Structure formats: C-alpha cells, structure tokens
Amino acid sequence: MSTAAQPIVHPERIPDYGVLVIPGRLDFEQLLTLEKQFSRRPVTWLIEEQAQHDAAMRSYLEQSASGAMFSASDTNLEAAGKQLESYLEGGGVIIHVPGRAAVRNSAFNHTPAVELEALCGLKLPVLPVAIDCPRSSSVSVENPHNLPDFVMSFAEPIAVEKLSVATWQQAMLEAHEAAYRSRSLFDQSLPMTLLAGLKRHAKNKVIDGADDSELGYDKVLAAAIALSKYIRKETDEPRVAIVLPPGKGGLIANLAVMFAGKTPVNLNFTAGPDAVRSCIQQSGVDCLITADPFVRKVTSFPWPPTRDLILIERVLPTLKKSIITWAILSKLLPTGLLGSILGLRKRKGRDEAALLFTSGSSGEPKGVVLSHRNLLANVTQFSTRLSLPEGSSVLGCLPLFHSFGCTVTLWYPVIEGVNLVTYPSPLETKRLAELIALNKIDLLLSTPTFLRGYMRRVDPIHLASLKLVVTGAEKLPQSLADSFEDKFGIRPMEGYGLTETSPATNVNLPDPEAQKNAVTIPSSRPGSVGQLLPGQALRITDPSSDEELPIDQQGIIWFKGSNVFCGYLNNPGKTQEVITDGWFKTGDVGRLDADGFLYIEGRISRFSKIGGEMVPHETVEAAINKALGLDNETERRIAIVGIPDEQKGEAIVLLSTLESTSTDQDSIDLRYKLLDQGLPSLWCPKTDLPVKEIPVLASGKLDIKGCEELAGKK
C-alpha cells in the first residue's frame, strides 16, 4: 500500500449538508483516502446485501462504528431511503462501497446498473466521486513508480429532484475527465515519446507485406533520424506532406518529419484533384514525401514538380552512412540525451503535432490540427483499454490519411511495443488474410465494407490468431457481425471516433473473464459503439434548440477530453461552430444507456426534418436493406438522401443500383414491406432514383456530398 498522499481534484465541491457519496470504484486504499475527506463528520458505510468485498476491506467495514445495508431488488427503495435519512443529520455522510467486480482495465465504473438504479431510487442527495488510476493504466514508456496510484475527483453534488443514473453518469464522466487530464505524459512531446518507444522496443519490428521485408524498430529509428536531417535541409516550412500507403516507408517518413521538428500532413491520394489542392494550399507545404512507383501508379494525383518531391526509396540509400552512425548512437546514448541532441522537446503539450484533413464526405476538407497532448492522450486511452500484451501484432492496412490508420497503426505500435504488419490496401483481403496467418496477428482494424471481403474470399483458418477485430467509419450491421462470428469464430467489435477526437472515443471489447464472488461489468453491447474510452466527458443537446438533455435521451453528441482537438486550421468560423468551452459538437446523434454504452443513431446531416419530425437516414437504409435482402452484400447498393420539399420541408429520395426498385410497382411493393416492418409512412422514400453506383469514400464511408449531387440537391 502506498503511503504517499494521492491527488484530490475539486475537494471544494464537497457539500456541508448530509449526502450519499457514490464513487465509481473503491478499493481499500481509496476507501481510506475518501474517508479522510470527511474526517470531522459521521460516516456510514452503505453496502448492497449481495455484494462481496476483499478480506481487508470487509474486516475494516465490520470494525467500523456505523454501517447500513440495502437491496438492489427492494420494491420500496424510497422507504428505505427515508430510513437512511437519519444518518445524514448534522452533515452526516453515507458512502456506498461497491463490491468486487470483474472489469476491463481503465473502467471508471465498477457498480452494476441495477445497483446504481437502486441507489438513485433511495431519493437522497448524491455526491459522485471519480477515481482514476494512472499507475495501473500507464503506457509502456512511462515509469509507473513515478505516477500516483490514483487521483480522486469530486463531481458537483446532485439534488434529489435531478437524480437519475443518467445524471450520475454524466457527473462521473466530467469528474473523471478532470482527473484524467492531469496526467503528466499529456504535456510531453510526442516525438520524444516515440523515441522512447523505439528504443525501449528495439526488438519489435515492422513487417511490410508488400515485399515481405522486416525492419526492427532500432533500424526504423536510425533511418528516421537520418531522414529527418535531410528534411531539415530541404524545407524551412513547418509542415511536410506525405503521400504514401501503409508500409515501412510511411512509418519512417512520419517519424522523420516529427524528428525534424515539423508537422506531418498525410494527404488523401484517393480524393479528387481539387480537394487535394485545397489541402496543400491550406497546409502551406512546399515539400512532399512519396515514392517513385507510387507517383507513376497514382496518376490522378496533382503531383507538384519533381524538385518538390522527396522520393524516399531514392533518398534513403544515399543516407546509408548517416543511418549507420545514428544506429550506433541511438544504442549508446540514453533516451534523454538523444532527445536533447535532436531537439525533440521544443514542441510539446498543446503545440501542433499532426495535421489531418476530414474526409470531405459532406463538404470541402477541413484541416484538423492535432496536438501532442491530443495524440498522446488517445494512444493512452486506446491502448490501456485494450490491454494487449507487449509483443502483440496489429495489421496496418488503413490509409495513413485516415485518423484511425494514423494514430492506431503509427503511434500506438511504437509507443506500446506492438509489432506492425503493413499492407498498402485494405481491399485485398485474401493477401491480408495470408499476412494475418503468417504473422499470427492479434488485432485487426477494419470497416464493415472491408469485412465483407473477408467473408467472401477467406478461409477461417487464416484468421485463427485474431484476438480482437474492431470496426469503425460506418455502422456495423448485426447480421454481418453474426455472419462473421459464425464463419471465423470471433465477433467484430464496433468502435467510434472522429478525426477531431484523435480519433477513438468509444469501442466495444470482449467482456472481462468472470471471477469468483465478483459481478461482471459488461464491456460490449450489440448495436452500440461501446463505452467511452477513459478521460472523456459526454453531453447531449436537443438538435433543434441546443438545450442540454439527459444523456440517456437522443440528441447531438458533445465530447470533452484531452483527445479533443482545439480547432480547424485557419478556420475560426468553423471552429466556433463546433467548440464551446472545450466541448466538441460532433454532429452525430445518439444516447447513452444505463451501462454507459453509446448508441449512434445517425449524423445530423443524415437526418431529414419532415413535417416537424426527425427522420434518420441510416435507420431507413437498414430497413430497406432488410426488405430487399441486401444485409450481406459486399457493396453499397442503396442510399437515402433528403432533398427540399415545398410542402413538408424535406422529402426522402432512394438512390439505388438495383433493377428491382426501378418501376412504380417496385416502389409500391417496397413501401408495403417497409410499413410491415413498422417503419412510419412519413419515413418511406418519396422518390426512387436509379444510379450506376453509390458514391463511397476510400475509408468506406458514404460520400454524402456525392449522393446529394446525384439527387440534385441544391
């Protein structure tokens, strides 16, 4: 047990009046610290009658002067609360002590929803307390002995008339965010942290599936340092563009730009020429790192003159002597000294670390400035929640201009010591499956669109090593998840994130292993995008009025956390539209359930307001796919678009590549099938529009702007 004082956040929020304290978690040392905060007030321990506790805590509670029991199954909780009111007299405090729980690492709540509902049913004023544990949820480059065991953070008290599981959750998330943001790592330098990761995990490697070559992280480090010196001579601009697919070249290029003290800008080579030119102009780059074979292959890209290109496969061989020198020095010199020589501490914390551009699915690409703090926080949030053992392997085939491909297949493997197996395209699933089998890959990151390719082309034995499959970018149909699990024996887990949140905010994960005498706190729920990653707060607002709603009601999702960006590049107007007092307005519509699982019910741009009612396009699409038997299609065959309508404000248009929707009778038949599913008449498409193909972005997302152009929306 640690004897050092643990940090306390917002102790001024502790009220003078009697209150029921409901912490998210509470081990023995945390219990003693919490009790000290009420040292001059009478304390009563409140225990659910079925809860089990560790021996030391049980012994302490039994010896305490005051204790009370309650039952989560009590049918008259308000009466039970009346009996407890006497313990609150004279400023008395009742502290709920959660029982033993099987949870995944970094879970902020160890109390089952049914127990929380019962506690709220007691109708007593409540003080939520969040407890963050940096030492047990640190990344590998941190020294856990230099971190506090825990940080205790008090939320604002909740009055009886406002009390519910949803208000407790929201207060807890905000209190936990306040504790989490104090982690010292987040104020450090990302390249310095990457340097520490490459040195610590020197024996780990990147395996390039394009040519089956291997490169240890020690050699990656030496090549990146040598290339960084070359980059400094080539440009004085603060940013450098990179146009490369996933591979050892892409990894070295991104590290080299950071080691050069500059910002990497991974450009979307699948975007149209106008969008690319916009990104280049916005970022102000005058230098672009790529490879000659890639220049010849991607002819549609608006390549600058050759003098502005750094062709990595030509430059690296000329740096051979420099690479050897840095290989020796990086082994001999300690991390701190090497970082000082390279000047890696000059930019850190809230300084710009990376620049990514939004997909442009609903307009011109916007530059998303991500800080060192943003990226270090998201790597910590993601990796400690996953808890993959050191030496695991991840498949890196998502584009580097995709935020998930950047954070999770560049920075995460290096910092956490995960082997990286790369391939230039996520579409060639047969080859990807071979790489998974050959390298015994543990983690596959994909999209539902790409998963359908595995369903069609891959033998189950090739995916036998996978321990986790995470999907994002688009909604994961449950029929696809079921089919994938039936074939491969592993269920895909849906996650969620945005470029502006670095990107990951939520992920479903396998439930923790059951433990004797402990309740299991679930970490997956079909249909949801999972629980929030640690250190984030959540708000929900009304789409029409922007008034705040309880977080269990449907509305616009807002996030706050160290992973949330500070604004768009050179675009204060757009920034002000989405950032308010550190809160980021996502534009997505959703709600949180009693166990903390977030449900995404569409983007606000994918809703139509018809006759005063909000109609979700994705719900309509799911119903149409079911009616037409398209659930297991590998390609998008239909899409819903809203267009202006004089009578009802908007009308629903169905874009379809199917002949079976092309006639008036087909439309009538489809309408009846949708009504039979329970879809409101108002939600049924007013018009069916045949198209050759449904516009889709390289990430697998629907190209909303392209669909609207096909529908003739003005």
Helix, strand and coil in the chain, % to nearest 5: 40, 25, 40
pLDDT interval class at 543 (50, 70, 90): confident
Percent of the chain clearing pLDDT 70 (strictly above) = 97
Examine the pLDDT at 226 and tell me if it is beyond 90: yes
Q: What is the DSSP string of 140-204?
A: TTS-GGGS-S-EEEEPPPB-GGG-SHHHHHHHHHHHHHHHHTT-GGGGS-HHHHHHHHHHHTTT-
Examine the pLDDT at 218 and tell me if it is beyond 50: yes
pLDDT interval class at 196 (50, 70, 90): very high
Provide the mean pLDDT of the chain.
92
pTM given for the model: 0.90
Examine the pLDDT at 662 and tell me if it is beyond 80: no
Strand 649-656 with 638-645, pairing: antiparallel
pLDDT interval class at 698 (50, 70, 90): low
pLDDT the model gives residue 1: 45
Helix (H) or strand (E) holding 540: strand 536-541
Helix ranges (DSSP H) in 387-477: 403-406, 412-416, 429-439, 448-457
Structure tokens at 230: 């070359």
Q: What average pLDDT does the segment 486-511 reach?
A: 96
Percent of the chain clearing pLDDT 90 (strictly above) = 76
Burial class of residue 119 in the structure, from the number of CB atoms within 10 Å of its CB (0-12 exposed, 13-18 middle, 19+ buried): buried
Distance of CA 143 to the CA centre of its chain: 25
Structure tokens at 646: 């004089």
Residue 75 CA to residue 79 CA, distance in Å, equals 9
Q: What average pLDDT does the segment 116-125 reach?
A: 97
pLDDT interval class at 330 (50, 70, 90): very high
Specify whether the backbone of 144 is left (phi greater than 0), alpha (psi in -120 to 50) or beta.
alpha
Examine the pLDDT at 633 and tell me if it is beyond 80: no
Residue 297 CA to residue 636 CA, distance in Å, equals 26
How do residues 25-40 score in pLDDT, each as one tens digit?
999 999 999 999 998 8
| pLDDT higher at 470 or 697 | 470
Structure tokens at 472: 């994002």
How do residues 580-618 score in pLDDT, each as one tens digit?
999 999 999 999 999 999 999 877 777 787 876 778 888
User: Looking at 2-6, 24-28, 222-226, 601-605, which range is the least confident one?
Assistant: 2-6
DSSP state of 408: I
Q: What average pLDDT does the segment 86-113 reach?
A: 95
pLDDT the model gives residue 413: 96
Helix ranges (DSSP H) in 15-129: 28-36, 55-63, 77-84, 113-121
Burial class of residue 437 in the structure, from the number of CB atoms within 10 Å of its CB (0-12 exposed, 13-18 middle, 19+ buried): middle
pLDDT interval class at 320 (50, 70, 90): very high
pLDDT the model gives residue 631: 74
pLDDT interval class at 362 (50, 70, 90): low
Examine the pLDDT at 3 and tell me if it is beyond 60: no
Examine the pLDDT at 216 and tell me if it is beyond 80: yes
